[in-house]
């Protein structure tokens, strides 16, 4: 038990990926929703300040911009509509703040429906890809790749009563995300 000693600062972790060589990064809106400062940490440990340039809370997407002279390599987008149940997938993210982690799995289902999505009462989202790739807190906003190395989803939610991976996770499909981004 702690007494209220004034406002406390905290930090949150999530994942994201560069989708444009000019420094544009996508993540989930819920990762940055209450942020007063946003930092992007690259795979080599380089830390860059980022600005929020756009968000869509209903689709749980946020676009960030980093200014750097570094050469950034964007991911390649794939078509989520071509994904089939049983296809192999790879999730990359930052679970529990541990840093770059890679997990594999399959597409378990398509067009999954989640009610009250993103904490917005009455909202629903019907097009999630479901995967059994290990996705945990901190993986939100990271890419879900197909076997060709193309992003077919953005890891967004898990189904778990304990808050950790139980083999059911959801990714927003690339075919929905790209036009919004």
Would you name the residues annotated as active-site residues?
30, 60, 140
Instruction: Report the C-alpha gap between 150 and 78 in whole angstroms.
Output: 5
Q: H/E/C letters for each residue in 88-100? A: EEEEEECHHHCCC
- Compute how many other C-beta atoms are within 10 angstroms of the C-beta atom of residue 52: 15
Of 94, 85, 86, which is closest to residue 134 (Cα–Cα)?
A: 94
Which strands, in side-by-side order, build the sheet including 47-56? 17-20, 24-27, 61-66, 47-56, 38-41
Count of helix runs (H) and strand runs (E) in the chain: 2, 12
- Give the max Cα distance, the chain: 54
């Amino acid at each position: 038990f702690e007494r209220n000693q004034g406002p406390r600062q905290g930090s949150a972790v999530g994942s994201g990926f560069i989708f444009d060589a000019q420094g544009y990064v996508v993540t989930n809106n819920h990762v940055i929703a209450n942020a007063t400062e946003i930092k992007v940490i690259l795979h080599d440990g380089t830390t860059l300040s980022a600005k929020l340039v756009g968000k869509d809370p209903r689709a749980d997407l946020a676009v960030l911009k980093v200014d750097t002279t570094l050469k950034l390599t964007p991911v390649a987008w794939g078509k989520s509509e071509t994904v089939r149940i049983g296809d192999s997938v790879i999730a990359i993210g930052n679970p529990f703040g541990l840093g770059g982690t890679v997990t594999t799995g399959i597409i378990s289902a398509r067009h999954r429906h989640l009610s009250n999505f993103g904490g917005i009462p009455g909202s629903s989202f019907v097009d999630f890809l479901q995967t059994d790739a290990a996705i945990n807190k901190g993986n939100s906003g990271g890419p879900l790749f197909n076997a060709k190395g193309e992003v077919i989803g953005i890891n967004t939610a898990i189904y778990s009563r304990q808050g950790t991976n139980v083999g059911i996770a959801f990714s927003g499909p690339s075919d929905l995300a790209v036009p919004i981004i």
